[in-house]
């Protein structure tokens, strides 16, 4: 599926609530480079991505039209699981509030160096971040306050 985010197709999808009832998405072994269309599913609660060796971004702002860039994606997301995404660099390029996010699991995603968090993202819900210690130590944070806010959230994966 190819979507022109600035065109009539998105307007039609939004008008008909085409992805309104979508709550769970699991994508594996795909050749997709991004899954920007997920921004059109406002009620997503769970996203699982695994073994997508070409995936570089979850949401690409470059692909979005101007009207779509003002949307706040993943407002109802509770769980995001990312596994074996060797080229994944970005979930979302800006910090998101994630008011319902309970768990973020990242494993074997060596290029993911930045999370779409600021010091207030998702903390009201006692977020748990599961990942390997080497990955956590290589994360780049916007500021020290954000890193300090999320340090208690880490649950290290051991193998």
pLDDT tens digits, the chain, 159 residues: what are they?
Answer: 555 544 565 556 656 666 888 999 999 999 999 999 898 899 999 999 999 999 999 998 888 766 566 778 999 999 999 999 999 999 999 999 999 999 999 999 999 999 999 988 876 768 999 999 999 999 999 999 999 999 999 999 875
Q: What is 30-70 written as a DSSP string?
A: ---SB-GGGGG-TT--EEEEES-TT--BSS-TTTS-TTGGG
Domain boundaries, the chain: 8-156
Whole-angstrom distance, CA of residue 140 vs CA of residue 8: 38
Q: Pick the closest to residue 119 from 140, 80, 147 (CA basis).
A: 147
């Amino acid at each position: 599926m190819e979507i022109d985010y600035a065109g009539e197709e998105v307007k039609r999808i939004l008008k008909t609530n085409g992805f309104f009832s979508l709550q769970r998405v699991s994508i594996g072994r795909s050749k997709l480079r991004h899954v920007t269309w997920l921004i059109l599913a406002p009620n997503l609660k769970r996203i699982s991505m695994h073994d997508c060796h070409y995936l570089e971004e979850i949401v690409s702002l470059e692909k979005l039209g101007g009207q779509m860039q003002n949307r706040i994606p993943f407002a109802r997301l509770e769980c995001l699981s990312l596994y074996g995404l060797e080229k994944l660099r970005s979930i979302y390029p800006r910090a998101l509030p994630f008011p319902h996010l309970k768990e973020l699991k990242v494993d074997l995603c060596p290029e993911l160096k930045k999370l779409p968090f600021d010091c207030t993202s998702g903390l009201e819900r006692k977020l748990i971040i599961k990942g390997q210690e080497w990955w956590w130590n290589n994360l780049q944070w916007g500021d020290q306050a954000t890193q300090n806010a999320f340090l208690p959230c880490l649950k290290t994966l051991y193998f």
